Amino acid sequence: MIKRIQHNFALTEKGAKGLVKATGWSTVTNLSLMFPVGLLIMVLDVMIKATANGTSPAEGVWGYTAAAAGILAVIFVLHWIQYKRLYIATYKESANRRVRLAEKLRRLPLSFFGNRDLADLTNTIMNDCSSLEQSFSHYIPQLFGTCISTIIIAISLFCMDWRMAIAVLWVVPAALILVLGSKRIQDKLGLKVILIKRASSDGIQECLETVREIKACNQKERYLDGLRAKLKRTEEAEIRAELAVGVFVSSAQALLRLGLASTVLTGAGLLAQGKLELMNFLIFLIAASRLYDPISLAFQNVAATFNAKLQIERMRQIEEQSVQTGTETFMPKGYDIEFDHVKFSYNENEGVLDDISFTAKQGEVTALVGPSGGGKSTAAKLAARFWDVNSGKITLGGVNVSSVEPETLLRNFAIVFQDVVLFDDTIMENIRLGRRDASDEEVLEAAMAARCDEFVQKLPNGYKTVIGENGSTLSGGERQRISIARALLKDAPVILLDEATASMDVENESAVQAAISELVQNKTVLIIAHRMRTVAGADKIVVLKDGKVAQQGSPSELMEQGGLYRHMVELQEKSASWKLM
């Protein structure tokens, strides 16, 4: 049963056991609310008998008062235990759920993120987790507890008088069928709300990221009109979903109230025929008045559970994704990177690399060049196992990278991409990310090698300056130099540079290239560049076009051969001499 609960509600084993315990205590708590009913029935019985015997009904009042106080104390204790078993356990499980999702995302290949909307992933981790936290603390255990306690009470009523029990309970299955029959409609509307809210989130995020372009093109009003329309659709979808839930749940709750009428009519008829005692009639009336309230609340919980299942399904889609696995022991024979007849595509029938073969040797700089879309960045990322190849193999030091656990493999790589990612922290700590145990002196040495010192000295707090979200206070070239310093600090045996100097002027580019040249001795360097002067000093050049190797060799060899490389060099030389007329 625990395994089934784990699967259905995306819980850990501890969370599933906690749900069972919370349901049990919710059942006991619900049943405890019938204690006052029992005491009231006892008091009424005594009063009726006292009136019939001509004695004072006030006799024993202190005893019943003490019993009432005791019942209240018991109810308080049970609710306190339920709180601990329910809410605290739920919040712990919610924290575990977020950590589990984050850990899962950490181990997923980048292909997963390329196929998913990042705003949707954020919504799943934050909003869906928060909604489930409320569902498991307020709805689901109480729903199950109400169902169990209702069954127990129903059995007790049938044991007393099956005719009156039917009169009290017939409305429960009828109302339940009405609520459950609305599941398909609620699921459809709930999914639509999720999709529309995601579109609104994407629109807001896009607006924040492109606000400069929107203003520069005088499209502010037009864009905001579109954003308002998305938000209005979100509001309308939310109202429709809430209205659908309200119609079915309110109808079911109204149907429940017919049970009280049927109880009165049936009881009055049986009482008139002498087939039912007055005391039993009162018992069923009081039971009916108390029974329908928790069931009405349970129907609201059923609707909330429908929505929770949608959110659970979204989480399960993440948790069931295949992760990249491999050995944590990596003992390569050197650090040559070899591509052996590699084929790769992000999607079926959309080939990116087709039968790629080349070797990037240790101690040499190997450059990947070619037209945009040729597969240069993809090849570099495959070498670091950001994705796994479709066929062929990539080896590092003779070891197939697909057989090595990704984090173990990446300890051997220092990577600088064209799109730099920095954190809202000091420059010192952003560089130290390359090697967390590095001393301040080592960080400063890497920073100066990457020519960071030139602009850092102009900042008010030097290397202690906080640079904002993703280095928002810095220029593109400054951000890229910090990224290069981070990679140099890591001092890994394999260095991947994807347009690492694209945002620098000629002077800084030459200085950084000189710094890199000093640090690549006995290392494997794979560099991607569009500017031919950037790779002029490379030991080997691999020209990629349309996912295939068009040429490979040293720069001088390729210039002698002619072909695509020479054509690209000549075009860039012509463009360098271009000027406004």
Q: What is the CATH number of the domain that holds 377?
A: 3.40.50.300
Say how far apart CA 111 and CA 385 lie, in whole Å: 11
Domain, as residue range, for 232: 2-319
**Residue 451 forms part of a structural domain:** yes
Q: End of a domain among 274, 298, 319?
A: 319
pLDDT at 160: 86
Structure confidence by residue, pLDDT tens digits, 348-386 = 667 788 889 999 999 888 989 888 888 888 888 899 888
pTM (2 decimals)?
A: 0.66
Q: What are the φ and ψ backbone dihedral angles of 485, each rounded to 5 degrees?
A: -60, -40
Identify the weakest region by mean pLDDT among 15-19, 315-319, 398-402: 15-19
Looking at the fold, whether 85 and 187 belong to one and the same domain comes out as: yes
pLDDT of residue 55: 65
What the block records as the tokens of 272 is: 């008139």
pLDDT over 90 percentage in the chain = 6
Domain final residue pick, 297, 319, 341: 319
Cβ-contact 524, 493 below 8 angstroms: yes
Contact 307, 321 (CB under 8 A): no
Tokens of 49: 């008998």
pLDDT at position 179 over 70 = yes
Q: Do residue 75 and residue 133 come from a single domain?
A: yes
Residue where a domain terminates, one of 259, 291, 319: 319
The pLDDT score that the predictor gives to residue 82 is 77
Closest CA to 467 of 498, 431, 501, 512: 431
pLDDT value, residue 241: 82
User: How confident is the model at residue 78, as a pLDDT?
Assistant: 82
Highest mean pLDDT among 30-34, 191-195, 425-429, 564-568: 425-429
Is residue 348, in this structure, part of any structural domain at all?
Answer: no
Three-class SS of 453-508? HHHHCCCCCHHHCECCHHHCCCCHHHHHHHHHHHHHHHCCCEEEEECCCCCCCHHH
Residue 264: inside a domain: yes
Say yes or no: 314 and 369 in one domain: no
Average pLDDT over residues 278-298: 80
pLDDT over 70 (residue 51): no
Number of domains in the chain: 2
- CA nearest 6: which of 439, 451, 316? 316
Measured between alpha carbons, how far is 284 from 42 in angstroms, rounded to an integer?
14
438: left (phi over 0), alpha (psi -120 to 50) or beta: beta
By the 8 A CB rule, do 178 and 253 touch? Answer: no
Confidence of residue 432 (pLDDT cuts 50, 70, 90): very high
pLDDT of residue 511: 60
* Residue that is written with structure tokens 């607006």 in the block: 207
Same domain, 309 and 416: no
Assign 46 a pLDDT band (cuts: 50, 70, 90).
Answer: low
How far apart CA 177 and CA 162 sit, in angstroms, is: 22
Ramachandran angles phi, psi of 452, nearest 5°: -80, -30
Can you say whether the dihedral through the CA atoms of 134, 137, 138, 141 is positive or negative?
positive
Q: Is residue 523 assigned to a domain?
A: yes
DSSP assignments along 97-137, one per residue: HHHHHHHHHHHS-HHHHHTS-HHHHHHIIIIIHHHHHHIII
Q: Residue type at 451?
A: R
Residue 314 has pLDDT above 80, yes or no: no
Kindly tell me if the per-residue pLDDT of 180 is higher than 90: no
**Residue 579: per-residue pLDDT:** 58
Q: Look at residue 580 and tell me if it is in a domain.
A: no
Q: Is residue 345 part of a domain?
A: no
Is 14 domain-assigned? Answer: yes
Residues in the chain: 581
Together in a domain, 16 and 136: yes
Other CB atoms within a 10 A radius of the CB of residue 87 amount to 16
Look at residue 415 in the predicted model and tell me its pLDDT. Answer: 85
Q: Is the pLDDT of residue 493 over 80?
A: yes
Contact 23, 148 (CB under 8 A): yes
Tokens of residue 463, six digits: 């290397």
Q: Are residues 415 and 276 in the same domain?
A: no
Between 581 and 420, the higher pLDDT residue = 420
The model's confidence at residue 393, banded by pLDDT at 50, 70 and 90, is very high
Please give the average per-residue pLDDT across 35-59, as a whole number: 68
- As to burial, measured by CB atoms within 10 angstroms (0-12 exposed, 13-18 middle, 19+ buried), residue 127 is middle
The pLDDT value given to residue 578: 59
Pairwise pLDDT comparison (13 vs 538), residue with the higher score: 538
For residue 13, being part of any structural domain is answered with yes
* Most confident stretch, 123-132, 233-242, 307-316: 233-242
pLDDT tens digit sequence for 500-530: 666 566 666 666 666 666 667 778 989 887 7
Compute CA 457 distance to the chain's CA centroid, rounded to the nearest angstrom. Answer: 40
The CA radius of gyration of the chain, in Å to the nearest whole number, is 35
CATH of the domain at 258: 1.20.1560.10
Residue 396 has pLDDT above 90, yes or no: yes
List pLDDT tens digits, range 197-211.
878 877 887 887 788
In this prediction, residues 60-74 reach a mean pLDDT of 76
Q: Tell me what pLDDT residue 141 has.
A: 78
Residue-wise burial string across 255-275, b where 16 or more C-beta atoms lie within 10 A, e elsewhere: bbeebbebbeebbeebeeeee
Quote the CA–CA distance of 198 and 245 in Å, as a whole number.
21
First CA to last CA distance, the chain: 80
User: For residue 400, what pLDDT band results from cuts at 50, 70 and 90?
Assistant: very high
pLDDT, averaged across the chain: 81
Q: Sort 496 into a burial class: Cβ within 10 Å, 0-12 / 13-18 / 19+.
A: buried
93 and 155 in a single domain? The answer is yes
